[in-house]
Amino acid sequence: MIFERGHFDGSMIQESFVMESLNEAKFFDYTTDYSPNSTIFLSHKHDDLKDLQGVMGILQKMGAKIYIDSMDNKMPNQTSGATAHRIKKIIKYCNKFILLATDKAIESFWCNWELGIGDTHKYSEHIAILPMKDKGKYDSSYKGNEYLQIYPSIDYENGTNKYYDGSIIVAGYYVSIPIIKEGDRRIITPLKDWINKS
């Protein structure tokens, strides 16, 4: 599933969750304990902040603490090697890595570099792609289809699909492991379980 922009807007019901997370990101310090909860490095294009806040609302409700670099007061004023060094350290520190994969993020050198760092330090079981397209666009025009073929992605099940044993897949968000070869079964894990699995 490729989410449309605005899908997560309703998730900002508890705006205090989002504000708490944004405030924590401002003073994030990877050298001290940040949280007993699972921490997520949420890679994004700064232009996507509106959609990002809805995503943060969902993740917060599931018990995660979120780091986003655009709110980090400890980042240098000018992008530099120090910026890259801090981001690399934080990605290594966080338990999980999620890329909000909009078309602009996929075109971004920074987002691709962050995904590469995540790939090196998190391995695929701790990485997820959250694919997002503009409203009204066809899935086939989405630029990140290649990512969805190699990395787990976040999907939504509406409660009408079934597992192979015939039982209903409960409505909600899941992390879906891509099918590598024809005949493989798609494996899904509830997003909350994925977030809290070490």
- The total of structural domains in the chain comes to 1
Q: Which residues pair with 129 in a beta bridge?
A: 99, 153
Q: Has residue 134 been placed in a domain?
A: yes
Structure-model confidence comparison of residues 38 and 183, the more confident one: 38
Q: Has residue 79 been placed in a domain?
A: yes
Q: Has residue 13 been placed in a domain?
A: yes
Task: Please return the burial class of 4, using the count of CB atoms within 10 Å of its CB with bins 0-12, 13-18 and 19+.
Answer: middle
Q: Which domain holds residue 85?
A: 3-152
pLDDT digits (tens, 9 = 90+) for 146-160: 877 889 999 999 999
Q: Has residue 78 been placed in a domain?
A: yes
Q: Has residue 170 been placed in a domain?
A: no
pLDDT digits (tens, 9 = 90+) for 91-145: 988 899 999 999 999 999 999 999 999 998 877 889 999 999 988 888 887 877 7
Entry pTM = 0.85
